[in-house]
């Protein structure tokens, strides 16, 4: 009966199985529910371990849950088992430890975790124990690691026997409050989390898993789609702004924390809540593909409701954002075959009136082809609808989009050539072509100091407008040879340097770090592109 229910579809909840079978084993293969969880999801692992199932229980083959997770190449459940203080030294009947059978990113993870908290404690390796507990958020309070006892139980049993507390024992004692907080989040124990966070003692809610770029507690809460936990953590001081985390456990790529809620599995109301508590600028932060929030939502197939929230929050101005391939959200939706999203964007555009909305689209090279919109109900084109409503300035803008783009191209060319007089005549808007290049980026990359001085004083906002890879003018300035770089960086940093010095590119690299990347292929290509691509991303000539 145990085996039948354990192997049934995922509609049988982990909580139901735990309530029915608890720590019992399958008579045929010696599996516990923790073994099953190892092949499932992190949430199931945490629930099973918290219920008292021994984290190192072995089945009839001698495999622990960690062995099975490693064999199944399930990085996320391996991570969860380490958070539950699993022992990496246990060997199965083939004399294999989990480390012996691990490969790739999982092997790297286990190697960093060795020797594990239990082995470190028993061997009196205090430095290793401190590192492992802090980096891997190991549970010390509940998870049974040896003889039905947790790490904290082992410490207390030694104390009851009259043993003097060792350095390792004190480390475990000191870590118990952090461990309790972390595992409240991982187990989604809302009531206990609320109690802990309401206590006078401040809790470390911004700690990172594994390293400085690992997931935060808030990232875990978002991933589990638990709005209550998210709200509790935000209220307690969890950071959203400027927080970048690894895309997933085994990834080396970073993305903004907010992007984690832009997937179909996450409730759109959670995204809406985070929009209300983060800075507006977070919607402009980019992932490894150059996606801002709206682009990421389209890429991931987020709900139309989530997309609506993103459009409303930015007043539709994010429709002109482009990814590293030069695609807007509408173009990306078309490329991925999401016709419903394309129609949704067109309907949104068709509802805009006045407010210089269409002028914004024009100066950002949105393209007239993306404005061939017909209202499904009235059958009228966008221009016909605007004329009927008396929005003649909008009509004029749309009819002259080609002329506006031409003026933008002339401005960027003049900036690159250092023709200051033409720049002054053409400098009527913050033009940005399909590569994300502005007149300021062009002038900096081409070493045109006088044009840079003029643009930074006449249009200071250009300093904080990045290209499609989230590289700002200051990134380009630091990429130039020393003599030019010094001139350009001095001009750009002359006023309000704090606004731009900490602006990272899509890979999380700050401008000053580009000095050491000048000889890399990516930076060489960056400077080549800005000199050889036209406004539409095609090679000049």
pLDDT in tens, 111-142: 999 999 999 999 999 999 999 999 999 999 99
| The pLDDT of residue 227 is above 70 | yes
Q: pLDDT at position 14, please?
A: 55
| The pLDDT of residue 151 is above 80 | yes
> Contact, 453 vs 415, CB < 8 A?
no
Share of the chain above pLDDT 90, in %: 82
| The pLDDT of residue 31 is above 60 | yes
Measured distance between the N- and C-terminal CA atoms of the chain, rounded to whole angstroms: 73
Report the candidate in 10, 12, 36 with the shortest Cα–Cα distance to residue 23. Answer: 36
- Residues ≥6 apart with Cβ < 8 Å to 168: 120, 121, 124, 125, 126, 129
| The pLDDT of residue 519 is above 80 | yes
Tens of pLDDT, residues 477-501: 999 999 999 999 999 999 999 989 9
> Contact, 422 vs 455, CB < 8 A?
no
Q: How many CB atoms lie within 10 A of CB 199?
A: 9
Report the candidate in 168, 143, 182, 158 with the shortest Cα–Cα distance to residue 56. Answer: 143
Sorted by where each begins, the domain ranges of the chain are 11-112, 205-375
> Contact, 70 vs 108, CB < 8 A?
no
* CB-side neighbour CA atoms (13 Å) of 77: 26
148: alpha, beta or left, given left = phi > 0 and alpha = psi -120 to 50?
left
| The pLDDT of residue 214 is above 90 | no
Q: How many CB atoms lie within 10 A of CB 192?
A: 13
Residues linked to residue 254 through DSSP beta bridges, in sequence order: 246
Tens of pLDDT, residues 426-439: 999 999 999 999 99
Tens of pLDDT, residues 313-365: 999 999 999 999 999 999 999 999 999 999 999 999 998 988 789 999 999 99
| The pLDDT of residue 8 is above 50 | no
What letter would DSSP give residue 538? P
Q: What distance in Å separates the CA atoms of residue 365 and residue 342, rounded to the nearest whole number?
A: 18
Report the predicted TM-score, pTM, of the whole model to 2 decimal places.
Answer: 0.89
Compute CA 534 distance to the chain's CA centroid, rounded to the nearest angstrom.
31
Helix (H, G, I), strand (E, B) or coil at 255: strand
Q: pLDDT at position 253, please?
A: 83
The reply to whether 11-112 and 205-375 are identical in fold is: yes
Tens of pLDDT, residues 394-432: 999 999 999 999 999 999 999 999 999 999 999 999 999
| The pLDDT of residue 1 is above 60 | no
- Give the mean pLDDT of 65-92: 96
Of 21-35, 46-60, 392-406, 504-518, least confident by mean pLDDT is: 21-35
Instruction: Describe the crossing of helices 449-458 and 401-417 by its angle, rounded to 10 degrees.
Output: 130
pLDDT band at 4 (very low <50, low <70, confident <90, very high): very low
Q: Kindly report the CATH number that applies to the domain delimited by 11-112.
A: 1.25.40.20
Q: Which helix (H) or strand (E) holds 377?
A: none
Helix (H, G, I), strand (E, B) or coil at 313: helix
pLDDT band at 239 (very low <50, low <70, confident <90, very high): very high
| The pLDDT of residue 52 is above 70 | yes
Residues linked to residue 374 through DSSP beta bridges, in sequence order: 381
- Give the mean pLDDT of 76-96: 97
Q: What distance in Å separates the CA atoms of residue 169 and residue 478, rounded to the nearest whole number?
A: 50
Mean pLDDT score across all residues of the chain = 92
DSSP 195-261: HHHHSSSPP-TT-BSSSTTSPBHHHHHHHTT-HHHHHHHHHTT---TT-EEESSTT---EEEGGGGG
The DSSP bridge pattern shows strands 254-256 and 244-246 to be: antiparallel
Q: pLDDT at position 15, please?
A: 55
Q: pLDDT at position 435, please?
A: 97
Tokens of 211: 């390293």
Fold of 205-375: 1.25.40
């Amino acid at each position: 009966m145990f085996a039948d229910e354990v192997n049934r579809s995922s509609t049988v909840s982990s909580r139901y199985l735990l309530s029915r079978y608890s720590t019992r084993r399958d008579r045929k293969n010696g599996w516990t529910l923790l073994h099953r969880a190892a092949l499932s999801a992190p949430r199931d692992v945490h629930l099973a371990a918290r219920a008292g199932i021994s984290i190192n229980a072995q089945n009839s083959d001698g495999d622990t849950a960690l062995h099975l997770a490693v064999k199944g190449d399930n990085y996320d459940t391996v991570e969860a088992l380490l958070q539950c203080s699993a022992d990496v030294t246990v060997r199965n009947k083939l004399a294999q430890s989990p480390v012996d059978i691990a490969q790739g990113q999982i092997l790297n993870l286990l190697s960093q975790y060795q020797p594990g908290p239990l082995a470190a404690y028993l061997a009196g390796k205090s430095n290793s124990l401190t590192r492992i507990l802090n980096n891997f958020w190991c549970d010390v309070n509940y998870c049974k690691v040896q003889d039905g006892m947790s790490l904290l139980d082992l410490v207390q049993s030694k104390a009851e026997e009259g043993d003097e507390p060792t350095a390792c024992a004190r480390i475990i004692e000191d870590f118990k409050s952090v461990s309790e907080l972390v595992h409240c989040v991982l187990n989604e124990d809302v009531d206990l989390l609320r109690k802990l966070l309401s206590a006078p003692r401040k809790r470390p809610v911004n700690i990172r898993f594994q390293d400085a770029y690992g997931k935060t507690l808030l990232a875990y809460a978002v991933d589990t789609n638990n709005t209550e936990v998210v709200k509790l953590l935000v209220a307690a001081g969890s950071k959203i702004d400027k927080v970048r985390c690894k895309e997933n456990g085994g990834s080396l790529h970073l993305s903004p924390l907010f992007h984690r809620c832009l997937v179909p599995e996450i409730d759109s109301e959670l995204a809406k809540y985070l929009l209300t508590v983060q800075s507006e600028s977070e919607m402009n932060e980019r992932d490894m593909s150059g996606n801002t929030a709206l682009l990421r939502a389209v890429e991931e197939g987020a709900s139309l409701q989530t997309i609506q929230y993103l459009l409303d929050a930015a007043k539709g101005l994010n429709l002109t954002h482009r990814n590293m391939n030069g695609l807007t959200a509408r173009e990306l939706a078309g490329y991925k075959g999401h016709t419903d999203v394309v129609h949704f964007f067109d309907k949104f555009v068709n509802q805009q009136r006045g407010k210089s909305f269409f002028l914004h689209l024009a100066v950002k090279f949105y393209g007239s082809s993306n404005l061939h919109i017909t209202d499904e109900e009235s059958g009228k084109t966008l221009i016909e609808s605007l004329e009927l409503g008396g929005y003649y300035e909008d009509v004029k803008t749309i009819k002259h989009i080609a002329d506006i783009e031409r003026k933008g191209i002339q401005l960027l060319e003049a900036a690159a050539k250092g023709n200051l007089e033409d720049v002054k005549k053409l400098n009527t808007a913050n033009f940005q072509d399909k590569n994300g290049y502005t007149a300021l980026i062009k002038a900096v990359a081409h070493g045109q100091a006088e044009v840079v001085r003029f643009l930074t004083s006449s249009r200071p906002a250009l300093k904080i407008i990045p290209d499609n890879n989230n590289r700002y003018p200051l990134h380009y300035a630091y990429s130039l040879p020393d003599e030019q770089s010094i001139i350009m960086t001095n001009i750009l940093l002359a006023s309000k340097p704090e606004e731009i010095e900490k602006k990272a590119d899509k890979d999380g690299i700050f401008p000053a770090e580009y000095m050491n990347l000048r000889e890399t292929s990516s930076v060489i290509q960056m400077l080549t592109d800005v000199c050889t691509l036209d406004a539409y991303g095609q090679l000049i000539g």
